[in-house]
Amino acid sequence: MTPPQTSQPQSPEPPAARVIAALDGVGVRRYTTGRVILDGIDWIVRSGEHWALLGANGAGKTTVLRLIGALMFPTVGTVEVLGHRLGSVDVRELRAVIGLVSAAQKVPQDATGHTVVLTGATGTVQPLWRAYDAATRERAHELLAELDCKELTDRPFGVCSGGQRARILIARALMADPSLLLLDEPFNALDLPSREDLIDALHRLALARPELATVTVTHHLEELSPAIGHAVLLRDGRVQARGLVAEVLTGARMTACFGRPIEVSRHEGRWLARSGRS
């Protein structure tokens, strides 16, 4: 007699990655001069994806970041962020749940690291002390520890190094528990040890928060952490290439994007680009 067959338990299907940001036919034109800043941009960022946004100065990187950060509107096309289309949502509420880190952010230089992180809960430059309960204050401590800078809790922001400031600002951006974290040239003017500390911190962050999506604007492949899995190349306001890093960050595509011979190599998840011979 054939023994009865028993059904094997089925592993649950992994949840489908949700769309975090979507640009469809997006263009931006400067009204005063008629200059085209972006033209025909199509791009989708999904939960858990980590994107690098690369291109020469003036390529349109910061404009793209401002669009998905709900800081500006497109001239043509549509931008949807966290399920909301720009133009049909209160962007102030949307901005409150998007993490943004930029060297241009205004931060009181005499505020301690902990105070700066606290202001992320209210989205303000100056702290609103009555708005921070014990749980909020403790969360700020936890985020400083997560970014490996808890020793900066009582240190004035103005005397912190560039790398320390960057990690404090990332902790601040995480206070709102965002699904999307935008990093606008976070490695700007960092020395080598500070750069490597920040890369390590971002890599750990990606591993610890599997649903978080990030977009990093940078000029240098060496600044990309091993967590970066996707890349977009912009040139003159248009997408040159987008997709998996192994398919986008090639010598041929980088050469076409930057307009000079570039050789690209990768070692243990880290990238290196250098000018090749013409």
Structural domains of the chain, count: 1
Whether residue 171 is contained in a domain is answered as yes
Whether residue 99 is contained in a domain is answered as no
Whether residue 22 is contained in a domain is answered as no
What was the pLDDT predicted at 31? 79
Whether residue 112 is contained in a domain is answered as yes
Whether residue 143 is contained in a domain is answered as yes
What was the pLDDT predicted at 25? 96
In three state form, how does the secondary structure of 133-196 look?
CHHHHHHHHHHHHHCCCHHHCCCEHHHCCHHHHHHHHHHHHHHHCCCEEEEECCCCCCCHHHHH
Averaged over successive runs of 10 residues, the pLDDT of the chain (278 residues) comes to: 52 69 95 87 97 94 94 95 93 90 88 96 92 96 94 95 93 94 91 92 94 94 95 96 96 94 92 82
What was the pLDDT predicted at 200? 93
pTM assigned to the model: 0.89
Containing domain of residue 133, as a range? 107-177
> Of 64, 96, 105, 97, which is closest to residue 188 (Cα–Cα)?
105
What was the pLDDT predicted at 1? 52
Whether residue 61 is contained in a domain is answered as no
What was the pLDDT predicted at 216? 96
What was the pLDDT predicted at 18? 92
Whether residue 59 is contained in a domain is answered as no
